[in-house]
Amino acid sequence: MVNSVRRLSPAKVNLHLKVLSRRPDGYHELATLMQRISLCDEMFFRLTTTPGIVLRCPGSNLPKDEGNIVHRAAAAFLRRFGLPGGVEILLKKSIPIAAGLGGGSSNAATTLLALNELAGHPCSRGGLMEMGAALGADVPFFILEKTAWAFGIGERLEAVAHPPHFHFLLVNPGFELSTRKVYEGLNLTLTNEAIHYSIPRFFECHDVIEELHNDLETVSINLFPVLAEIKTLLLGHGAAGALMSGSGPTVFGVFDNEEMAMKAEESLRGCGTWLLFRAHTI
C-alpha cells in the first residue's frame, strides 16, 4: 500500500461569469465557465502511525488548523472513511491567496483526491464531489478535473468536450480582494424562481475570446481602478482578450501562443508589486 503521494493543485480562471440572481440564502446563482491552468501549488501527503492531521504551509501565513480548508477537507474525509493512523500534509503555495484563482478550493479538492487514493479509493469521484460541495462552491469543479460550466452556486457542473488550448499571462496586483465585498456591490434582486440561462457555445479560440465576460469585473474595478489599467496594458501588449478572474483581483490576458505571452511578461515585469505568472490550459 502506498503511504505517500505528491500532487499538483492547479489554479483556475473564469472565462465567462454571469451572475444571474441573489438567492434568499445569501448565495448567488451563477453561470460560469471554469478552466484549470498550469499555475499550481505543490502538495505532499504522508500517512502516519499517529492519529490526527498535521498541516504545514511553509512560507505563508495560512492557518494550520481547521481555519484552513485543507485541514477541513482532510477532517471530513477521515470522519467518513478513516485511516489506520493520521496524515501529514505539506502545502507549498505558488497560487496567490484571495486572488480569484480558486487556490483554496483546489487545495481542498486535491486533499480529498489524494486521501482517497491513499485509503485505497473507498469513495467514488461523485462521492468526493458531494463532500467537496460542503467545503466550498468551487471544490467539486477541481475534483471533476475537466473544463466545465458551473451553475447554481457552483454545484451543478457540465463538462466541456475538447476545450480550446490557450496561453495566459496572469497579473496579480499584489493585494487581496474580498469576494463578499464584491458580491455585495452587485445590485441584484432576490428570487426563488428557477433561472434559465442559454450558455454560449465555444468551439474555437475566437469563440471564447469574443465571449470573455465577468459580471463582477465592474464592481472590482470601481473598488480598484488599477484593474482596468492592467487590462489595457495586457491588450496593448498583444493579448487577444483580457478579463478579471472570479471576484479578482487577478487579471489574465489570453494569447495566441507562448511566445507572445513571454514578450508581454518581459514588458510588464517590474510593474511595482504586481505578480506575473505565465500559464496554459490543462
Residue 138 designated active-site: yes
Residue 65 designated active-site: no
Q: Which member of 18, 93, 138, 231 is catalytic? A: 138
Of 240, 277, 238, 276, residue with least CA distance to 260? 238
Catalytic site residues?
12, 138
